[in-house]
Amino acid sequence: MTTAFFTHATALQHLAPPGHAECGARIEAVWAALRAPAFDALARYSAPRADDAEALRCHPQRHLERIRAALPAEGWAMLDPDTYVSPGSLDAALHSIGGVNAAVDMVLAGRAANGFVAMRPPGHHAEAEAPMGFCLFGTVAIAARRALDHHGLARVAVLDFDVHHGNGTQALLWDEPRAIFTSSHQMPLYPGSGATTETGAHGQIVNIPLPPGSGGAVMRPLWQRALARVRAFAPELVLVSAGFDAHRADPLAGLGWTEADYRWLTHAICDLADDCCGGRVVSTLEGGYDLTALAASVSAHVAVLMERGDERNCSDEL
C-alpha cells in the first residue's frame, strides 16, 4: 500500500473572473509539484463523479437545484461576492466529492495507507443551503457522513488547518455526535466564526483561533492540546481539510506558517491516526493562494503522508 492521490481534469473547468484568488492555476501548481520524482510512488487515480445522492448527505435537494439553476451557458455567474459558478462548476464539484469519497473507500478497504485529494472548488465554507467562500458543497463533511453511514464507522475526526475557519463543516456537523471537528484559523478573519465558545451540540467541536502573525511557535502547542482531545474521542478515520493559506507568503492572511510547520502538523496528525485507527488519513485540498507556497506546502504535506504510509507498510510486514 502507498498514498492514493485523486484528482481530475474537471478541476480546471470551474471558472472565476480574471484575478480571482481561487483559480485553475492553483490546481496546476499542485499537479506540477506532485510530478517531481520524489512523488513517483504515489498511486494516482482519477476522481470519480459523485452522484447527487452523495451531495444530499449534507445538503437539501433545493441547494443542489439552486447550484444547477445558477450555472451560466458561458462565462461565470456570481453566487455571492466571493463565490462564482461557470458551466463546468457543478461537474467539478461532484468530482471533488467523488474524489474524497473514493479515497475514503480505498483507505477503509485497506487498499491504500492514506490519501490526498487535489480538486477544486474547495468545500469547507459551504453550509447546508449557502454556497460561500469559494465553496459550493461541504465536501469533507459529506465524506465524514459517508464514512459513518455507508461504511458504518462509529467515530470520525475532521481536522481543518486552513487559515479560514471551516464554518461550513462546523455547521454541517454541529449536531453529529459521531464526528469531532477541530479547526485552527486566523482570528479576526473571514468568515468571522470559530470562537472557542462554539463547541457543537455535543461538545464535539474544538476551535483554535490564532492571532495574526503568531506563526508556528504558537500553533504547535495548541494543536498538540487539541489532538489530545481528538485522541480521547478515538476516531476510526481521520479526515483533513488541508488549506495552505496560513503560509507566510499567502496574500489572503497573515499567520506566518512555513513548510516546516505543515510537515510538523502532518506528522502530528499521522501520529494520532496511528494511535487510533491504523494510520487511516484522507486529506483534501482547501485553500492556498500563493502558487509557489502552495506547491511547496502540498509537497511537504504529501511527502509526510507517503513516508508514514511506507513506515506502516514496513510495520505490518514485521
> Three-state secondary structure along 72-132?
CCCCCEECCCCCEECCCHHHHHHHHHHHHHHHHHHHHCCCCCEEEECCCCCCCCCECCECE
Side-chain-facing half-sphere of 108: CA atoms under 13 Å: 21
Nearest to 144 by CA among 113, 182, 190, 188: 182
Asked whether 143 and 157 are in contact (CB, 8 A), the reply is: no
- Name the grid cell of 268: 502530528
Catalytic residue of the set 125, 164, 185, 301 = 125
> Three-state secondary structure along 162-186?
CCCCCHHHHHHHCCCCCEEEEEEEE
Q: Is 125 among the catalytic positions?
A: yes
Query: CA 91 to CA 100: how far, in whole Å?
Result: 14
Q: Summarize the chain as % helix, strand, coil (round to 5).
A: 40, 15, 40
Q: Where in the sequence numbering do the catalytic residues fall?
A: 125
